[in-house]
Structure 1
C-alpha cells in the first residue's frame, strides 16, 4: 500500500508540475502581448514607445506605418442593430474625429472594424478654421480618407463656396470633385459646369462640359476651363467665348485675369468690339484700358466700314478708336467689289472729336507707300486719308496710275466718293502721260492739274498755268495723223474709253503739227517727261517690293517757293495732337 500511495503521489505531483509549467507558459504569452502591435483589416492601435530606446540599445526594424483610427467622440445613444451586424448605431449629437478632421451629424452607422462610418442628417465636416463641408448624407472611409457627401452639398474654403448634390472629397490630395453639376463661387465670379474639381490647398479648379463663368462685367462660356480662386485667373484650354457689353473675345488657349481684366491669348484668338475685330497668333487685351495688341499674322477688320489692316504687329484702343499696324503692314479696303491693297512701313488710324457730330477718322501711312487696285495704282513716301472730306493726300514724289494714264506732281490729292475716285488734284510740276504704244506718249504738263473720273475712268483733265503738251491726233479710224506740240495758259482734255477725244485751249493755240516721219529728234518728249513703268505696282503682292526712281528721273526742285515737307507735316500734326 505504501508503495502504491507513493506511486500516486509522484504521479499527482507530476501532474501539478505539468500544470504549473503550462500556466507559467500561458502567463509568459500574456506578458508579451502588450509590446506587440495589434493590426486588423480596418483599425490599428497606436504603437507604444519602444522600451529599447530607453536603454540606448539599437531599435528593432520599424514596421509599416499604420492608418490612423477614426474615433467616435460622442453620441447620445449607442446600440447594435440586427440589420447591420458590423455596425454600431449612434444617434444624437454625434461627433467623429479623424486626425485633425471633425465630423458632426444627427445619426450614423459606425464601422469600427472598417475604420469608417455613414452619417445622416445635418452632416458637417470641419478641418481647422478653413475647410467646412455640409450635406445630408456622408460616407467616410478612414482608410482612403475619401468623404462622399450627398444631397444639398456645400463646401466652404475661406472665400470660396462650392454647391452641388454629389461631392467626393479626397483628404490626401485636398481635392473635391463633382460629377452631376455644380457651382463654384468666390467674391467676384460664379462658375457652373456639369463636372468639376477644386483643390482646397492651391485653390486651383477644373471644369468640364457646359462651363459658364459669370462676372458683373462679363460672361465666359467654355467646354473646358481652369480657374484659380486665389489669383482670379481663368486658364482657357478649349473653345471659349467672353462676352461683355461691347466686347466679344473668342479663344481656345490663354489666360484671363477676371480681376484686372487683362488677357494673354494664343492660337488665333479674336477680339471683337463694335464691328471691329483684332486677330493674332498671340493677343493681349486689357479690358479696363480698352487696349488690344496682336502679334504675328495680325488682322484688324472693320466690318462696318469694310476695311482691314494686316501685319505682324497691331494695336487698337477701343476707347479712343486708335489703331496702329507695322511689320509688313497692309491696309485693305473692300467696300467696293474690287479691293484696294496699300502697304507702308507703318499704318495708323486716328479718330477725332469722338462721339460728336464732328467726328472723323484719319488713316496715315508712313514711308514707302505702295497701293494697288485693278483700276488704280500709286506710290509715294507718305499718305493721309481723312473721312472729314474723303480726301487722300499723297506726299513726296507721288505717282498715280489709271489704266494707261500716269499722273505725277509734288503733291497729289484724291477725293473719293463712296470709296471710288471722284477727282484728283495734282499740285506743282504736274505731268500727265498717256501711253499710245511703246514709243509714243501723249504728254501734258503745267503748274497744277485736275483730273475728273466717272465709274473709275478718267473723263476730263484740266491743266492750269504754263501748259505745254505733246500729243498725237488721230482720224476717225484711230490712225495717227502726226504729232502736235503746243503751249497755252489753260487746257481742258476730254477722254472717252481712256482715249483722247478732244482738247480745248485757252487762249487758242494751233501749235506745230509734225508728220510722223518728220518729227525732229527730241521733240517727242517734254523736258520733264518720265514714264515710271518700272515702279508701278503690278498686283497686290507687288506692293511689298519697293522700287526707287532711277537717277535723273526725280522731280526737279521747285524754285518758286518752299515745298511742304510731307513727313514734317505729319509729325507736326502728331505732336500738336499729343
Structure 2
C-alpha cells in the first residue's frame, strides 16, 4: 500500500508540475483564488470504481456530475482527489456556468482551490449566448472570468467567423482578444490582421496593427482603428485607405461606411479616380457614395493626366461629381451658387444669364467654329461628369493657365466655366472678363467665350501689346491651341500695331466699333472685319506716345500666371507628386 501511495503522490505531483509549466508558457498573471475556500462536491455518478482512503482519491464512472461554487462539471469518468481538491476527468466533458456559458471537450483537469480548468480534445467548444468558439485546448480561470486558448481557434457569431492562432475571452465582459494571423470571414467581406480585440455586444473589432478589409464594395487598410462587423462602419487612424475599382480615398484618419460607400478622411487626404486618372489632395475629404460625390477641402490640388496634356487645379475646395448610376447627381445648386458670386446681380438674374450662356455655347456661330462631325466630348472622361473648384482657383495646362474665384468643368460637354473676373493666359495672350467659358475639342483648347467687360491682350511677333475690348468676345483657336480668330460683339474697342512683311511698325490703329472680327496668322493680325460704322485712327510710328499704346483697364499680369512649379510648391504639392497615376 505504501508503494502504491507513493506512486499516486508522484503521479499527482507530475500533473501539477505539468500544469504550471504549460501555463507558464503564456503571458498570464499568476493564478490565485479570490474567493472563499470550498470543496468540489459530487452530485451524481453511475458507479464508484475506485476508492483510496490513504490519498482520499475516488474514481467515478458514467454520467458523473460535480458542482463547485456555482459551476457544474460533467464527464464519463472522473478521478477526484479530495485532499488536493482536484479532478481529472475524461469523456464528454461539460462545464456549465450560469445560464449561458458552456464548455465541452474530451479531457478536463480542474483545480478547485484555484478555480482553474484545463480542457483538451479533438474539438473544445465554448458557447456563450450567440457566440461559439472552437479550438483544441482551452484554459479557463473562473476567478477572473477569462478563457484562454494557446492554439488556433475559430469564433462564430451570426454570419461571421473569426479565427486566430491564440486568443482570450472574458466571459463577464464578453470581450475577445485574438493574436496571430487573425481573420474575420463574412459573406460580404474578409478582415485580416495580426491582433484584434472584439466586443461581442457591440460587434466592434478593435485593432492596433496593420489591417486589411476586403469586400465587393472595395478594400480598406489601416494601422489602427475600429470596425463594426455587422454595420460595416469603421473609424481608422494611422494612414488609412479605402480602395475599389473606381476610386481610392486615403487620409491620416478615415471614417467609412462600407455598405453605403460613404465617409470622410482627415489629414493629408488623397483621392484618386482611376478610370479618369484624376488625383486630388487636400486637408479633408468627404465621400458620398450614394450621390457619387467627393468633396476635398483645404489647400486642394488636383491633377488629371492624359496622353495629350495634364490639368492642374489648385483651390480652397474641390467637388468631383461622378456620372449617375443608381442615383441622380445634382450639382446645379453648387454651380448656381458659384455663378452667383457676382454681387452686382440678383440670384435670378445670374441664373438667367447662365442659361443664356450655356445655350450660346451649345450653338456657337458658324463663322467661329469649323464644320466637323466629330463629337466635342472629351473621349477620356469615363466616370467623372463634373469638377467644381472654389476659392483662389489656379489652373495650369500647357495650352492655357488661369486665375479665377471659381470654375465648373463639365467633362461630359467639355466645357469649363470661370467665374468672378477670371484671367486666362494662352501662350503669350491674356484674356479677361467677368465670366469666361472654354470649350475643349479632343481635349485641346478650341473656343473661349468672354462675357461682360471682356479684354484681350495679344502679343505680336515683336512684343507689341495688341488690345481688344468689348461687351462679349469669342476667341477661336486652331488644333494646336494657337489663337486664330477674335470676334467682338458690343462696345468694341481696339488698339493694334500694323506691321509690314518685315515686321516693322506701320502705325498704331485705334478703332471703335460695335462689332469687329480679327484674324491672326503666326501671332500677327492678318485681317480685320468691321461691322457698323467704325471710328478709326492711325498714328504713325514716330508719333506714338506711351499713353497712346494702352486702352483703359490695360494691365499685363503675366507675373501672376500659374506654373506647374508654382502649383507643386503649394502645401500638398509633394503629396501630389508622390501619388501614382495611370495615364489615360
TM class by shorter chain equals 0.7 to 0.9
Determine which of 295, 305, 312 is the counterpart of 1:334.
305
Of 230-239 and 142-151, more deviation after overlay is shown by 142-151
1-side partners of 2:310 and 2:463: how far apart?
32
Q: How does 1:84-163 map to 2 (within 5 A)?
A: 88-151=58-121, 152-163=123-134
Determine which of 188, 191, 194 is the counterpart of 1:223.
194
Residue aligning to 2:545? 520
Determine which of 41, 52, 62 is the counterpart of 1:71.
41
Question: Do 2:161 and 2:185's aligned partners in 1 also have CA atoms closer than 8 Å?
Answer: yes
Residue aligning to 2:385? 361
* 1:269-307 deviation per Cα after TM superposition (whole angstroms, max 9, x unaligned): 112244122212221223444421112222222111122
* 1:15-70 deviation per Cα after TM superposition (whole angstroms, max 9, x unaligned): xxxxxxxxxxxxxxxxxxxxxxxxxx99xxxxxxxxxxxxxxxxxxxxx9874323
Q: How has the CA–CA distance of structure 1 residues 470 and 114 changed in structure 2, closer, same or farther, with 3 Å as cutoff?
A: same
Gaps of 5+ in 1: 1-40, 43-63, 546-578
CA apart distance, 1:232:
0.7
Residue aligning to 1:532? 557
Determine which of 257, 272, 282 is the counterpart of 1:311.
282
> What's the secondary structure of 2:276's corresponding residue?
coil
Q: Which has the higher contact order (CA 8 A, sep 6+)?
A: 2
* 1:311-364 deviation per Cα after TM superposition (whole angstroms, max 9, x unaligned): 222211111112222222333323356533323333223457544999973322
Residue aligning to 2:348? none
Determine which of 447, 458, 472 is the counterpart of 1:434.
458
Q: Structure 2 length normalisation: TM-score?
A: 0.74
Residue aligning to 1:260? 231
2-side partners of 1:122 and 1:374: how far apart?
79
CA apart distance, 1:452:
3.2
Gaps of 5+ in 2: 1-12, 15-33, 330-382, 571-584
Question: Do 2:457 and 2:466's aligned partners in 1 also have CA atoms closer than 8 Å?
Answer: yes
> How large is the RMSD of aligned CA atoms in angstroms?
3.5
Residue aligning to 1:423? 447
* 1:224-281 deviation per Cα after TM superposition (whole angstroms, max 9, x unaligned): 2111111111112222222222222111211112233322111121122441222122
1-side partners of 2:441 and 2:178: how far apart?
53
Residue aligning to 1:169? 140
CA apart distance, 1:122:
0.7
Question: Do 1:307 and 1:335's aligned partners in 2 also have CA atoms closer than 8 Å?
Answer: no
The answer to whether structure 1 residue 302 and structure 2 residue 256 are counterparts is: no
1-side partners of 2:125 and 2:184: how far apart?
19
CA apart distance, 1:475:
5.4
Residue aligning to 1:187? 158
Question: Do 2:74 and 2:95's aligned partners in 1 also have CA atoms closer than 8 Å?
Answer: yes
CA apart distance, 1:373:
3.4
> What's the secondary structure of 1:522's corresponding residue?
helix
Determine which of 518, 531, 548 is the counterpart of 1:492.
518
Q: How does 1:228-307 map to 2 (within 5 A)?
A: 228-307=199-278
1-side partners of 2:460 and 2:105: how far apart?
92
Q: How has the CA–CA distance of structure 1 residues 104 and 380 changed in structure 2, closer, same or farther, with 3 Å as cutoff?
A: same
Greater gyration radius: 1
* 1:196-250 deviation per Cα after TM superposition (whole angstroms, max 9, x unaligned): 2211111111112222213344322222211111111111222222222222211
Q: How has the CA–CA distance of structure 1 residues 418 and 377 changed in structure 2, closer, same or farther, with 3 Å as cutoff?
A: same
Q: Structure 1 length normalisation: TM-score?
A: 0.74
1-side partners of 2:56 and 2:311: how far apart?
84
